[in-house]
Structure 1
Amino acid sequence: MKIQYKWLLILLVFGFIACESDDDSTTTEEVVITSGTADFSNYVALGNSLTAGFTDGALFIAGQENSMPNILAQQFALAGGGTFTQPLMSDNVGGALLGGNPILSPRFFFNGAGPAVLPVTPTTEISAGLSGSFNNMGIPGAKSFHLLANGYGSIAGLASDPPLANPYYVRIASSPTASVIEDAMDQNPTFFSLWIGNNDVLGYALSGGDGTDPITDTATFDGAYNALVAALTSGGAKGVIANIPDVTSIANFTTVPYNPVPLDAATAGAVNAAYSAYNNGLDATLAFLTANPLTLGALFPATSDMTSLELATAEMAKRKISFQAGEGNAVVILDEDLTDLTAINSALVSMRQTTADDLLVLASSAFIGTLADPGNPLSVNGVAIPLADRWVLTPEEQGEIATATMAFNATISAAAQQAGLAFVDANALLVEASDGGIAFDEFLLQSDLVFGGLFSLDGVHPTARGYAFIANKTMEAINTTYGSNLPMVKAADYPTFYSPMLP
């Protein structure tokens, strides 16, 4: 019996070891990628520059290859997705020619100090149209209603003022009378992405709210957007749509400080002396208004919170201009939202200095401090010469953008719910990026220009890594809505800078 127990114990021990060995030698099961209830066999992407792959201020081959839709298409291919064609530019320079003349600028590159325009002539000729159809129908510069406009690809429309056509669409339109949505639907898409509406507010913002590129009215946007979704889903295609980020949070409006002017003591004294008559005129005008209550009330109607005199006193203080020796001087700007006082004093133009509530556009950094008159060393733009409205977004203009963005996003959200489409909250993503950054694998994407990793050198469009992050968020929405299991891409596979020496 003792011998039997001994052998039984040996058998149990070896059996246990064998079980452990079996547990350790795990086999990796191949995950089957599925499209769920979606059909990725013919994916068509509609939108603007964010869909086209625009980055560093231009459209070029490397950027297009890292476009958000192209990244999606590569993952779709794992679940039955078909060929995804893009209207590639002719080079990695960016920009374009029309009749041999440059009409679109080359891309930016990082010169060690900041963004600079690549000093190379583009080779993409707009008049040399591309034949065939393209799955990526992202048209840089397009607004919502432009995608519905027949003739938006007419080369003759480029000559009108303002232009009625778009050079990027001229290059790929099936005919001069076609529309983007028609060319898209002619491909019979089984799945689509739609990211449009940014330019409906961005153009106004980039022009500093000066009125040259107005915000699309809500009724026009609603009609255009719902028409696009209706057309895209008319054949039973499923898809994903994204809303509009708050454009005032992008690097283009957060890079240049409101107080970028350094002055030495002598210059500050000279500028203050030049503005003394203007400041004294404000004091004299306030005294006049105090003595003439009818005029005061007409110019500064009382509110529930402030009397007319309080409003006038606050605005006069706001309009006072003063410089100090050293760093951190605010620039002088024209502000059309100020009360018109020229009927009382013709010298009191509507100008003031910027505050922390103002947003200077990125392009202003190359203008502030230059001379309006090269022969006059005191004619410094932003100091002695007020900046025009196009260089700054005032709080009032920012409010107009916020109101429109909220209304547009409500339309987009409602369209997604009504059509049962996947939805990407791009607005929330940008808020998160602006508030400390977003983790993407081992990287932190932030909204800072150049080194933040999210925005490219134009301060508006994402880097390749930024597009990859958005693609992942888009696939997460698709997986949730349609039951697919598309794998995510890796951040390290996508750069944040492109070399100026790209072939």
Structure 2
Amino acid sequence: MKKIIICIVLLSFMLWFGCELPTPTPEKITLTPEQLQNSFLRKVVAIGNSLTAGYQSSGLVRSFQENSYPYLIAKQMGISWRFAMPWIEEPGIGSTELSDTNYVAGPLRMTPTGPAVVDSTLADQVEELLSNAKLPRPYDNLAVPGADLNDVLNTKISITNPFFRIVLRNPELGNLTMLEQALLLNPSLILLWIGNNDVLGAAIDGGDLTQITSQEDFQTRLETILSTIREKSSAQIVMANIPYVTDIPYVNALDGIFMDFGQLGKLPVVFDENFQPVDFDPDTAAGAVLYLPLKMEETGVAHLLLPYLTAYKKGIGVPDSAFIADFLIQLGVDAAVAAVQAGQIVQGMIASGLNPTGIPIPGNLSLTADETQSIRDAVDGFNNIINTLAQTYQVPIVDANTMLTTLNTSGIDGYTGKYVLFDLENTAFSLDGVHPNNGGYALIANEFIEVINKSFGQAIGLEIPPVNTAQFKGQYLKELQGYSGKIRITEAAERALEGVKHLFVKGDTK
């Protein structure tokens, strides 16, 4: 069904573009005297995936794109007026599947009931959202949500990912890949951030390690990208490395419900609507606590993924009386007493709105410690390759990996790496728990600006001013328009969170 929707969208775009676009030719650059003084800024081009496109809250719309890190950098350079983006107008194009297949969802918005799809567009009218579809040359920001290294080199159009059609506009632009279109623009500076999607799918799809690109393929593809740029252009390149994709809220937001059970290790436990572990110990004496582990399919679980919230409300993972009794016996409680206590606890759960089904949490909603380590090892390997090739091709590196670690440990400019439900005002992440929000992209822009200034500033007499990140604080408070109550998460919101992975899990999107 999803493929049918996307095919409708692609057909609509083809009818919209028609044959009106001329065959693209390399840009004729007309520079003012001021621009001639700084040829470094002559043509800035961005290559990448959703992080470079400005994708957030499971979608793209102009208000998000205007806060993408390449566009923010262009603004700070004073060239945003000629930095062409694939402008997607309201209500935007999202990745959440709707029950009515005649409509395409917009991005998630913050509501009093949590992240939700509040707008949609008829599938056969989606083409009207791309306001500059007939620009007779490639866009300067060519980043495609869902793209990996292979896509940069080889993908011209995708049956299952409409963003390739939206951004690359093939076949009207000559059936050229992302890299080919970038080189057609005769760039002077390329902002390159790619490779996250060569590992992200493993993290958000429950530890499916087959989603990870091999180290050999990663090296071959990245070297091909860099060598091609060097051979076919005189552009300078600034490239970012890959953060640990296990350090995003989609993966770690529920880490607070893990409790230490000594020899049993850390286990996720039954929690309340405030995401706080529930104490089931009837003894109110100081220091007496009884946390009940959730029932899991896998052992050694280190993370429960954000979409588990939907399953939890259905009782998945909530222990039944048999499981509780067995656990109490492990703690040294007499079997007969354990059976009685288990029955009482189950009644209490039901009274509080929980559904103790005793059905274990499936593996696609969790990451084990071993899976987490394998994913981190893959990222380390990719970053080693990036560092080696950066030295070979003389490319300065933006350390996005260290940036995310710092964001999660001590924060940056007052922003945190927490999910929006836990830090509504200061989070740097968007509602999908995977991508940055406006403030997060401003932080990324400043990391790029710092590297650009350090690497090229003195030689070309350029000092790009940093973005004022404070201006983006409270993005979701503004969306709530003064609502001061508690944010609740509805089942619809949770389905939307689950939907974010469709673009980024291989086999689901390709």
Match of 1:445 in 2: 415
SS in 1 for 2:313: coil
**Distance in 1 between residues matched to 2:96 and 2:309, nearest whole Å:** 27
Give the direction of change, closer, same or farther, for the CA distance of 1:61–1:496 in structure 2 (3 Å limit).
farther
Give the direction of change, closer, same or farther, for the CA distance of 1:38–1:389 in structure 2 (3 Å limit).
farther
**Distance in 1 between residues matched to 2:403 and 2:140, nearest whole Å:** 26
SS in 1 for 2:45: strand
SS in 1 for 2:195: coil
Counterpart of 1:224 (choices 215, 221, 224) is: 221
Judge conservation of contact 1:433–1:447 (CA < 8 Å) in 2: yes
Match of 1:368 in 2: 312
SS in 2 for 1:75: helix
1:494 and 2:472 equivalent? Answer: yes
Give the direction of change, closer, same or farther, for the CA distance of 1:188–1:101 in structure 2 (3 Å limit).
farther
Cα displacement string for residues 295-330 of structure 1 (whole angstroms, at most 9, x for unaligned residues): xxxxxxxxxxxxxxxxxxx9xx78999988367433
Match of 2:142 in 1: 137
**Distance in 1 between residues matched to 2:267 and 2:222, nearest whole Å:** 45
State the shift of 1:70 in Å.
Answer: 0.2
Cα displacement string for residues 354-400 of structure 1 (whole angstroms, at most 9, x for unaligned residues): 66xx1111111222131479xx999x888611111110110110111
State the shift of 1:259 in Å.
Answer: 3.7
1:244 and 2:230 equivalent? Answer: no
Match of 1:71 in 2: 72
Tell me which amino acid in the other structure corresponds to 1:232. Answer: I
Give the direction of change, closer, same or farther, for the CA distance of 1:96–1:318 in structure 2 (3 Å limit).
closer
Judge conservation of contact 1:126–1:171 (CA < 8 Å) in 2: no
Tell me which amino acid in the other structure corresponds to 1:329. Answer: L
Tell me which amino acid in the other structure corresponds to 2:64. Answer: G
Which residues of structure 1 form unaligned runs of 5+? 1-32, 159-165, 262-313, 336-351
Equivalent positions of 1:180-195 (< 5 A) are 180-195=178-193
Give the direction of change, closer, same or farther, for the CA distance of 1:127–1:238 in structure 2 (3 Å limit).
same
State the shift of 1:227 in Å.
Answer: 1.2
Judge conservation of contact 1:259–1:331 (CA < 8 Å) in 2: no
Judge conservation of contact 1:46–1:193 (CA < 8 Å) in 2: yes
Match of 1:333 in 2: 296
SS in 1 for 2:52: helix
SS in 1 for 2:121: coil
**Distance in 1 between residues matched to 2:197 and 2:385, nearest whole Å:** 16
State the TM-score, normalizing by the size of structure 1. 0.67
State the shift of 1:473 in Å.
Answer: 1.4
Equivalent positions of 1:339-488 (< 5 A) are 352=299, 358-371=302-315, 384-438=358-412, 440=413, 444-450=414-420, 451=423, 452-483=426-457, 484-488=462-466
**Distance in 1 between residues matched to 2:170 and 2:71, nearest whole Å:** 25
Judge conservation of contact 1:93–1:118 (CA < 8 Å) in 2: no
Cα displacement string for residues 392-430 of structure 1 (whole angstroms, at most 9, x for unaligned residues): 110110111111100111111122222222211010111
Match of 1:199 in 2: 197
**Distance in 1 between residues matched to 2:266 and 2:244, nearest whole Å:** 29
SS in 2 for 1:241: strand
Tell me which amino acid in the other structure corresponds to 1:207. Answer: D
**Distance in 1 between residues matched to 2:307 and 2:36, nearest whole Å:** 44
Give the share of equivalent positions with the same residue, in percent. Answer: 28
**Distance in 2 between residues matched to 1:393 and 1:97, nearest whole Å:** 23
SS in 2 for 1:472: helix
**Distance in 1 between residues matched to 2:78 and 2:268, nearest whole Å:** 61
Which residues of structure 2 form unaligned runs of 5+? 1-33, 271-278, 282-289, 321-345, 482-510
SS in 2 for 1:420: coil
The 10-residue stretch of structure 1 (115-124 or 245-254) with the greater mean CA deviation from structure 2: 115-124
Give the direction of change, closer, same or farther, for the CA distance of 1:122–1:96 in structure 2 (3 Å limit).
farther
Match of 1:233 in 2: 230
SS in 2 for 1:225: helix
Tell me which amino acid in the other structure corresponds to 1:173. Answer: L
State the shift of 1:475 in Å.
Answer: 0.8
**Distance in 2 between residues matched to 1:423 and 1:170, nearest whole Å:** 30
Tell me which amino acid in the other structure corresponds to 2:244. Answer: D
**Distance in 2 between residues matched to 1:319 and 1:55, nearest whole Å:** 32
Larger Cα-atom Rg: 1
Cα displacement string for residues 60-112 of structure 1 (whole angstroms, at most 9, x for unaligned residues): 1100011000011112226xx871011111314442799x9468643222224
Tell me which amino acid in the other structure corresponds to 2:470. Answer: A
Aligned length: 376
Tell me which amino acid in the other structure corresponds to 1:195. Answer: W
Tell me which amino acid in the other structure corresponds to 1:449. Answer: Y
**Distance in 1 between residues matched to 2:397 and 2:357, nearest whole Å:** 46
**Distance in 2 between residues matched to 1:255 and 1:174, nearest whole Å:** 37
Match of 1:255 in 2: 253
SS in 2 for 1:475: helix
